[in-house]
């Protein structure tokens, strides 16, 4: 039954992201979001490490020292900031840096973070959860400054003004400017 619980969690997350993406006009991204989670490289690991309260990638990482599922996932999904890490060409070319993400993927990343919080926090979810989670890890992210600024702007707006107003702003102001 572990596989069914994991499948249910993935499907629920995917539906939450799809709903959010549709509200901001990202229909294709909403439909195709996280399709790699159904691949054997990610799904089987997710079943093995499933807990229901957090990402199975964390449990795999704790056991092995890395997450094979995460390494697979982040390399195939452009809404993850880790997808956009490359060598910094402005310096010696030896340092890794975050590349500026296209706005549509930053918006999808926002939707992904909100949906993940809703998925794992359930009835305890609040509009500040995605911001709080981001802030716990922000210092170690390798992310382009403009990408970080845009993501933080959306997360703060969600926290302070709510989901409906934030989604409307993303659709009408952020995505219309691209």
H or E stretch at 98: strand 96-98
Q: How confident is the model at residue 17 (pLDDT cuts 50, 70, 90)?
A: very high
Q: What is the mean pLDDT of residues 138-147?
A: 96
d(CA 22, CA 3): 28
Q: What is the mean pLDDT of residues 148-166?
A: 98
Supply the DSSP string of 52-90, one letter for each residue.
SSS-HHHHHHHHHSS-HHHHHHHTT-TTSGGGGEEE-TT
Write the pLDDT tens digit of every residue in 50-99: 998 889 999 999 999 999 999 999 999 999 999 999 999 887 667 999 99
Integer distance in angstroms from the first to the last C-alpha of the chain? 44
Locate tokens 């690991």: which residue? Answer: 45
Q: Looking at the predicted structure, is the pLDDT value of residue 1 above 80?
A: yes
Return mean pLDDT, the chain: 95
Q: What is the mean pLDDT of residues 155-176?
A: 98
| Overall size of the chain counted in residues | 178
Q: Looking at the predicted structure, is the pLDDT value of residue 178 above 60?
A: no
d(CA 159, CA 157): 5
Q: Considering the chain, what percentage of its residues have pLDDT values greater than 90?
A: 90
d(CA 39, CA 9): 15
Q: Which SS3 state, helix, strand or coil, does residue 143 take? A: coil
Sketch the domain layout of the chain as residue ranges. Answer: 84-177
Q: What is the mean pLDDT of residues 34-60?
A: 95
Q: How confident is the model at residue 177 (pLDDT cuts 50, 70, 90)?
A: low
């Amino acid at each position: 039954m572990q596989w069914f619980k994991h499948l249910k969690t993935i499907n629920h997350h995917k539906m939450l992201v799809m709903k959010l993406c549709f509200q901001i006009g990202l229909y294709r991204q909403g439909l195709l979001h996280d399709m790699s989670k159904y691949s054997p490289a990610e799904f089987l690991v997710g079943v093995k490490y499933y807990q229901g309260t957090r990402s199975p990638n964390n449990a795999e990482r704790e056991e092995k020292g890395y997450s094979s599922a995460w390494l697979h996932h982040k390399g195939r999904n452009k809404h993850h900031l880790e997808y956009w890490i490359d060598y910094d060409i402005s310096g010696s070319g030896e340092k890794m840096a975050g590349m500026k993400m296209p706005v549509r993927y930053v918006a999808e990343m926002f939707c992904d973070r909100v949906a993940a919080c809703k998925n794992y926090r359930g009835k305890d979810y609040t509009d500040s959860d995605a911001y709080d989670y981001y802030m716990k890890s922000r210092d170690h992210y390798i992310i382009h400054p403009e990408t970080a600024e845009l993501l933080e702007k959306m997360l703060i707006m969600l926290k302070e003004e709510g989901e409906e107003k934030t989604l409307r702003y993303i659709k009408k102001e952020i995505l219309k400017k691209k």
